[in-house]
Structure 1
Amino acid sequence: MILKERSKSISHRILEALNNRMTLSGGELVQYANQIKGFEGEKMFDHILNESGIDALFINDLLLITRDTFYQIDSLVITDEKIYLYEVKNFSGTFVYKDNGLYSTSGHAIQDPVAQAERKRSYLYNLLIQLGYSIDIEVHVVFINPECYIYDLSKKDTILFAGQLAGYFKDLADTLPKQSNKNLALAKQLIARHNSMYRPTNLPAYSFDQLR
């Protein structure tokens, strides 16, 4: 059951509007392209998840705050026994995993998505405790683009690639007992805490004189 549909992020919508009304800088165009690519990847993930037949509660695109820290969760799947947190990455190209970090073949370090997802798990866990819930949270980083290759990656159950998703979700659907949606109240509390007014600090500065 989808409780919260996915929509474009605030950054995506603002950059889209500004791109239609002013000339973005090179860096801003890259930022906008990344927003588009990320959203496309998340929609690909949604399609596979929705086709899986999993009996659970789905929450997409959740922006929360815990102890003055804002964080965005791409997707939550909430069952009676556990919460599954998915961090979706639409990376393309070749990467190397070393020293507990991700590097492009040109040597540039990329923020470790596994560490990023684990931080979000910790934030969410603390929020749940604050709300009076104690429930396991299982984290997965999904590399949704089939053109993403990561070398020297030791076996990590946390990481899922595009080709694994259908089988992974089928196994999950087959092993889940019939759900009573006993965590529906919890899911609704999380959605009520979604902060739709948050504005990132890295958006372009503009004046009304610049707008076409």
Structure 2
Amino acid sequence: MTQPDYTFEQAARDSGFLAIAGVDEVGRGPLAGPVVAAAVILNPANIPAGLNDSKKLTAKKRDALYDAIMAAADVSLAQATVAEIDEHNILRASHIAMVRAIAGLARPADYALIDGNLVPRGLAIANETIVKGDGRSLSIAAASVIAKVWRDRHMVDLAQQYPGYGWEKNAGYPTAAHKSGLANLGVTPHHRRSFKPVHNILYQE
């Protein structure tokens, strides 16, 4: 299994860029909750050990890495709301969150490594896209961990306010428990009305 490394970042540094941000988003598939993006500028002299695509890590390892990244790197988190997801679409909303995350960095980035194959509209700095970047670039892997841990914790908080959907375990993804909650309890303000399972409940003939 290949591990992410610092090759992309080093190439950007060799080209004269000083603040290279890895950018990733989490939460495109759920039926509820925001889409969350993170931008992370790693310190090449202090990169937390064990970084990888957040999906390949245990929850315990993600939590430990979240704290390590927060302590050692420049980090910015941003989200696009359920209303923005419904107004635009999930891809556009995820790009809005990415641009916000980059703009929110205390240390302005001059280069962005973007997970995926599309450059977010409105991104005003030099950049490159990397398909499956969270498994190839350490900075994007760090961003994937930050975004996932923050979003999972946010969904646990929302689950306290709206019990019965299993968000504390499924993070808003369309599991059997979540769909059962939708059918029995109805739609909450945190559900994405443009997503078919939610839309179908709201607009049943």
Q: Which has the larger radius of gyration?
A: 1
- TM-score of the aligned structures, taking structure 1 as reference length: 0.26
Between Structure 1 and Structure 2, the one with more helix by share is 2
- TM-score of the aligned structures, taking structure 2 as reference length: 0.27
